[in-house]
Copies of this chain bind each other. A is one copy, B any other.
Amino acid sequence: MDLPLESGDDGAAAGPRERARARIEAKILGAAESVFAEHGFSGASMSEIARRAGIPKPNLHYYCKTKEELYQRVLRHILDLWLSTADEIQANADPAAAFAHYIAAKIDLARRHPLASRVFANELIHGAPRLGDFLENELQDWVAKKSKVIDGWVKAGKMHPVDPRHLFFMLWAATQTYADFAVQIAAVLGRKSLKPADYDRAALQTTEIVLRGLGLK
């Protein structure tokens, strides 16, 4: 199971009315995330989401006009989670520590929010038809900024030369795989589901190979 989605508190003191509404919306978003993660957009049904949220179907439509709108809310929550990953890839940081921290943070995200990761992965696999301009704008900007930092480290002779963009593709893939393809990993490891120790081992080895691979160890 995943942690329930938080419904951004609207700042000002909330009365019991607003509190109740917020609690329901949080339940809806959590239920929606789990159903979308399991079945994808088309496969998810509003009835199932309502059932998991513990409310009648028409009430779900009262809070969220359309399935599309509900999906967009879930997706936006996930993108914010993704971008806000505290990372320390900054010019004045130590490269080895920065990459180690980034890998650990990403695997931690995969462990704590596997459903969110899967909804996002599903969206990408099918060509990102509902992702709007996130990839072209927000993500590209993010990568451009971080790439400059890495280029700086390379020029300063602190690490082996690399194409930072492909490095990120590799880091994203190697870490998110522990959320997106958890069934495959669990099956190969002979488990029913991944244990904390599995994620720790994954982070350790991934960090080791990447750091050595970048000439940082």
Residues of A within 8 A of B (CB): 37-43, 118, 121-122, 124-128, 135-136, 139-140, 143, 160, 162-163, 165-170, 172-174, 176-178, 180-181, 183-185, 187-190, 201-202, 205-206, 208-215
Contacts and interface: CB of A to CB of B under 8 A. Distances in A.
A169 B162 contact: no
- Total copies of the chain: 2
Nearest to A162: B205
Contacts of A168: 188
Contact of A135 (B139, B183, B210, B212): B183
Given A140-B188, A174-B174, A127 B38 contact: yes
Given A42-B42, A166-B201, A170-B174, A180 B125 contact: yes
A53 to B, nearest CB: 20
B118 A125 contact: yes
B170 A206 contact: yes
Contact of A169 (B43, B135, B202, B210): B202
A185 to B, nearest CB: 6
A201 B163 contact: yes
B184 A124 contact: yes
Contacts of A189: 165
B160 A212 contact: yes
Q: Which of A139, A174, A201 has the most CB of B within 10 A?
A: A174
A185 B211 CA distance: 23
Contacts of A202: 166, 169
